[in-house]
Amino acid sequence: MKIQNTERFTRLPDAFLFDTDNTLYPYDPAHAAAMRAVRQKVTTTFSIAEADFDKAFDEARRQVKNRLKHTASSHSRLLYLQRMLEIMGLGSQVLLALDFEQTYWRTFLSNAILFDGVKDVLDDIRLLGIPTAIVTDLTAQIQFRKVVYFGLDHYFDYIVTSEEAGHDKPHQSPFQIAIEKMRPKGDCIWMIGDNPVNDIQGAREKINAVTLQKIHSGTEGGTGVCAPDAIFGEFRELRALIACLAAEVPNGS
């Protein structure tokens, strides 16, 4: 654990916020496996080259994101695949779009593995009686499915998706809704995430959160206005910090 602003870690927080994707588990391996499965299915179904799939899918994703901007639906694999089929000159093909989407998420989940120590940290927080919430982008259904798949549905008190909030992070809405749900006793909020802009800068600027960035392969520590108050690579480091602060105050209060 590299603490960069020691003055922000004088006590336990009144609430914890956690990002999901690439914070509780590594996103890239699951996404890569899911894309391979979809690519194989599409190229086999239509007898096209992988390069043609990649070109159509990338263009579909670009168009959807450009149209929907920073909203939950801008991440929709179903919309990407629907638009991909249209770009390929096949029309919307809703049944196929649904089938390809299910292939993506089924493969994604089967290749998604929690980082070591996640449940241990959450157990410690629960024993301390500190409220927790997930604050995550994307649509509610798939994020709920991830939480249940990981067996985390009983570890978190609340979840806020960008679909519910109407905006992706770093907009204020997801953070503020989470706080309204948790009703913490004070205003010391810790935000744990991987993205230096959405999680770190966003949480600091919107709710004055103490920010902790999860670093691992494929992520870089935030700098400047995106610099976190602390950086950690393993959840056991976060667990040790919480235990240290809990030991300093009777009853962890």
Same domain, 43 and 139: no
Same domain, 11 and 135: yes
Same domain, 49 and 87: yes
In this prediction, residue 248 carries a pLDDT of: 82
Report which residue type is found at 175: F
Same domain, 167 and 231: yes
C-beta separation of 122 from 239 below 8 A:
no
Given 72, 94, 110, which residue is the final one in a domain?
Answer: 110
Given 50, 79, 110, which residue is the final one in a domain?
Answer: 110
Determine the structural domain holding residue 224 and report its residue range.
2-26+113-252
Same domain, 93 and 126: no
Question: Sign of dihedral through CA atoms 187, 192, 196, 202?
Answer: negative
In this prediction, residue 250 carries a pLDDT of: 61
Same domain, 8 and 69: no
- 0.95 surpassed by pTM: no
- pLDDT lower than 50: segments of the chain: 251-253
Given 110, 126, 147, which residue is the final one in a domain?
Answer: 110
Return contacts of 48-52, CB within 8 angstroms, 24+ apart.
48/88, 52/88
In this prediction, residue 253 carries a pLDDT of: 46
Number of folded domains in the chain?
2
Give CA–CA dist 189/133, Å, rounded. Answer: 11
Same domain, 95 and 141: no
Same domain, 234 and 166: yes
22-45 pLDDT, tens digit per residue, is: 999 999 999 999 999 999 999 999
Same domain, 169 and 61: no
89-114 pLDDT, tens digit per residue, is: 999 999 999 999 999 999 999 999 99
Same domain, 130 and 211: yes
Nearest to 191 by CA among 3, 28, 25, 13: 13
CA distances, 29 to each of 58, 101, 120, 157 (Å):
18, 17, 23, 28
- The CATH code of the domain that includes 151 is 3.40.50.1000
Same domain, 17 and 119: yes
Give CA–CA dist 68/41, Å, rounded. Answer: 27
